Amino acid sequence: MSPFAVLPVRTPTLPPATHTNVYRLGDCVIDPASPEPREQERVLAWAGKVGRILLTHHHADHIGGVEALAAATGAPVWAHADARVPFPVHHRIHDGDLIDTGAGTLVALHTPGHADGHLAYQLVNTGHIIAGDLVAGEGTIVLLQPEGDLQRYLDSLARVRALADTLWPAHGPPQPASLADAYIAHRHHRTAQFLNVLRAGEPDRTLMADQIAAMVYSGLPGVNLQLAAMQVHTHLLWLAERGQARSVGEAWAAA
Ligand SMILES: [Zn+2]
């Protein structure tokens, strides 16, 4: 049985997702996400008595309905100290904070990497974690500059993997926590591919991130090469921090 109530709402999110899950436990509603008035009305009718609005993170496809729900219910907005949102936050959440919802206690887990101030919420003494954008029911998660940070993301995945049996993502159905292992392996696989491309060919070859993306992702169906190039860039920064790649102007080379 699901420990949380879940309502997917239509949002301007990245394909293949089209919806964001709104979660509810006790009097807490997490990520009332949709900017569309009809979707906001659905959330209001579904939510019942709302005592607090909690955020996983500040991305547009998670916060579009926050102001409307706050205005309709008078509920305060709670978010991590590093979350940057265009509306008032009434309470800043810190890692390890306990939130008594009236129907169970949530533990806040600061899990950055995809977004600064990203929070996951574990139902205390269970393996159920509301995972925000750490994982998705379909596809992978994008790490975009300037806030995308591969090492912090890997650390966050490892952290929830150690605590969870089931991850409840912001997009798509619940997932076994072992999906986090697959995501970690996938990231290391991609890093190795990008490094291999840099190391191939003549010494001192330099490549732009979009050229690397075109070489690694070409032929894969449904790939957005612009987003792919941004992923490559995030991985190259990770390699540069470890002395395995270096930037040459706007381009990159193996170190
Ligand atoms: Zn996000």
For 199-248, the pLDDT digits (tens) are 997 878 899 999 999 999 988 877 889 999 999 999 999 999 999 999 99
Span from the CA of 116 to the centroid of ligand 1 (angstroms): 10
Q: What is the mean pLDDT of residues 162-188?
A: 98
What's the pLDDT at 153? Answer: 98
In this prediction, residue 11 has a pLDDT band, given cuts at 50, 70 and 90, of very high
- Find the 10 Cα to ligand 1 centroid distance in Å: 15
Comparing CA positions, the residue from 137, 115, 120 lying closest to residue 20 is: 137
pLDDT at 20 over 80: yes
> What number of residues does the chain have?
255
* Segment 84-98 mean pLDDT: 98
Pairing of strands 119-123, 105-110: antiparallel
H-run or E-run covering 151:
helix 150-163
User: What pLDDT, on a 0 to 100 scale, did the predictor assign at position 236?
Assistant: 98
Ligand 1 center–CA 2 separation, angstroms: 23
**Strand order, beta sheet including 105-110:** 98-100, 105-110, 119-123, 128-132, 166-169, 175-176
pLDDT of residue 220: 81
Give all domains of the chain, ordered by start, each with its CATH number.
5-176 (3.60.15.10), 183-254 (1.10.10.10)
With a cut of 90, say whether residue 53 has pLDDT above it. Answer: yes
**Rounded to whole angstroms, how far apart are CA atoms 53 and 59?**
15
pLDDT at 203: 78
Q: What is the pLDDT at residue 33?
A: 98
pLDDT > 90 fraction of the chain, expressed in percent and rounded:
91
pLDDT band at 141 (very low <50, low <70, confident <90, very high): very high
> Is 80 a residue whose pLDDT tops 80?
yes
Task: Give the distance (Å) from ligand 1 centre to CA of residue 30.
Answer: 14
- Does pLDDT of 1 surpass 80? no
**Radius of gyration (C-alpha) of the chain in whole angstroms:** 19
Closest listed residue to residue 248, CA positions, set 188, 196, 200, 203: 203
> How far is ligand 1, taken at its centre, from the CA of residue 205, in Å?
34
> pTM of the entire structure?
0.96
Give how far the C-alpha of residue 44 lies from the chain's centroid of Cα atoms, to the nearest Å: 24
Interior/surface letters 127-146, b for 16+ CB within 10 angstroms, e for the rest: ebbbbbbbbbbeeebbbeee
14 Cα–ligand 1 center, Å: 9
